[in-house]
Amino acid sequence: MLDKTGFDLWADDYDKAVGVSDVENTYPFAGYKEVLGRIFQTVLEKQNPTVLDIGFGTGTLTAKLYERGCAIYGQDFSPRMIELASGKMPEAQLYQGDFTRGLVEPLYHQSYDFIVATYSLHHLTDEQKAAFLRTLRDCLKEDGQILIGDVAFETREELDRCREAAGDEWDDEEIYFVADELKRAFPELSFTPVSCCAGILTLHR
Ligand SMILES: C[S@@+](CC[C@H](N)C(=O)[O-])C[C@H]1O[C@@H](n2cnc3c(N)ncnc32)[C@H](O)[C@@H]1O
């Protein structure tokens, strides 16, 4: 699994690397642009929302929301990703912090219309995901939503089929979302498949 130094090294090439996999419609980034596009549209249905991005990377999604007037907060552990994202969003409140240890303290001082996490939370175990989602849900405004876009499947069988098709490309160190299983902890969770290996999980407060 990549640590923050690994993500630093990936940062400068990240947008291009993701684009190639998406265009080729292959695991792991098939549907990446559509996932981000749909989350972008959902967020902009609200007027001037406050948005927290967990693992914002180079700011691919949040920089677009920033340009449209959203108040942007974020947490990522890679100094290079933060540097690249800050260049695109100088007024955003971007913090360095490892989300396996939860949110950094200043991010608790705010409540959010949307908390988004794209292609980042698969670094957590399923138990860590559930605990972190509970923490994040408490940081939402009354009508707020958590929107997770990632490699994700409705069922374990679908994940297994994708793993077989991906062969050696499959990353055993990443722990992908299985919506049916996460619904045991969050029965109100909804899942929208977007591609053969990607989808959006939505959780309301
Ligand atoms: C694959 S990139 C996704 C970036 C962006 N959200 C996107 O959709 O393009 C994963 C991001 O999560 C960050 N990340 C991974 N594990 C993390 C952790 N434990 N704590 C904080 N950030 C983490 C990485 O530094 C990287 O910027």
* Ligand 1 center to 137 CA (angstroms): 19
Token pair belonging to 65: 């929301």
**Residue 24: pLDDT band by 50, 70, 90 thresholds?**
confident
Cα-to-centroid distance, 3 and ligand 1 (Å): 10
Q: Residues with Cβ within 6 A of ligand 1?
A: 7, 55-57, 60-61, 76-78, 81, 98-100, 118-120, 123
Q: For 145-194, how does the pLDDT look when each residue is reduced to its tens digit (9 = 90+)? A: 999 999 999 999 999 999 999 999 999 999 999 999 999 999 999 999 99
Asked whether residue 22 is domain-assigned, the answer is no
With H, G, I as helix, E, B as strand and everything else as coil, classify residue 192: strand
Query: Residue 13 burial by CB count (10 A; 0-12/13-18/19+): exposed, middle or buried?
Result: exposed
In a domain, 152, yes or no: yes
Domain carrying residue 200: 4-9+29-204
Give per-residue pLDDT as tens, 52-108. 999 999 999 999 999 999 999 999 999 999 999 999 999 999 999 999 999 999 999
Q: Can you give the pLDDT at residue 4?
A: 74
Residue 111 lies in a domain: yes
What ligand 1 atom has the least distance to the C-alpha of 36?
8
pLDDT at 115: 98
Mean pLDDT of 105-130: 97
pLDDT of 25 reads 84
Q: Do the beta carbons of residue 125 and residue 185 sit within 8 Å? A: no
Beta bridge partners of 153: 178
Question: What does the alpha-carbon distance between residue 49 and residue 43 come to, in Å, rounded to a whole number?
Answer: 7
Q: What is the residue with the minimal CA distance to atom 25 of ligand 1? A: 78
User: How many domains is the chain built from?
Assistant: 1
Global pTM value = 0.94
For residue 166, what is the domain's CATH number? 3.40.50.150
CB contact set of 89 (below 8 Å; sequence gap of 6+): 59, 62, 63, 66, 72
Strand 93-96 versus strand 71-76 pairing type: parallel
Distance (Å, whole) CA 113 – CA 181: 26
